[in-house]
Amino acid sequence: MSKGILHMLKTKKELIPLVGILSIAATGAVSFCVYSLLSKSDVIIHKLGDPEPWEAVDPTKSQKLVTINQKWQPIEELEKVRKLTK
């Protein structure tokens, strides 16, 4: 099968940019999925561990890929409710 693809790319040179762009896009999509699985706290692979892993998130650390001028301040009422429910 790979011989057929390589042969087709050798004979039809106009397909090389298309294959290159699709390969880069697929690699980017897979690498972002792996990045999200390993570093994001809201992505859960297994549910056997901590049932609420988002409670351990540091609110001062940005969870977005790009953050511009964002500052976090705790809301007093929500902190009181959180303390009462624990």
Tell me, what's the pLDDT at 21? Answer: 96
- Per the structure, the complete domain to which residue 47 belongs is given by 2-85
Asked if pLDDT for residue 6 goes beyond 80, the answer is: yes
Radius of gyration of the chain (CA): 23
Residues 52-79, mean pLDDT to the nearest whole number: 74
Asked if pLDDT for residue 84 goes beyond 80, the answer is: yes
Tell me, what's the pLDDT at 4? Answer: 83
Asked if pLDDT for residue 3 goes beyond 60, the answer is: yes
Q: Which residue has the tokens 């290159």?
A: 20
Q: What's the number of domains the chain is made of?
A: 1
Asked if pLDDT for residue 24 goes beyond 70, the answer is: yes
> What are the backbone dihedrals phi and psi of residue 80, each rounded to the nearest 5 degrees, phi first?
-65, -45
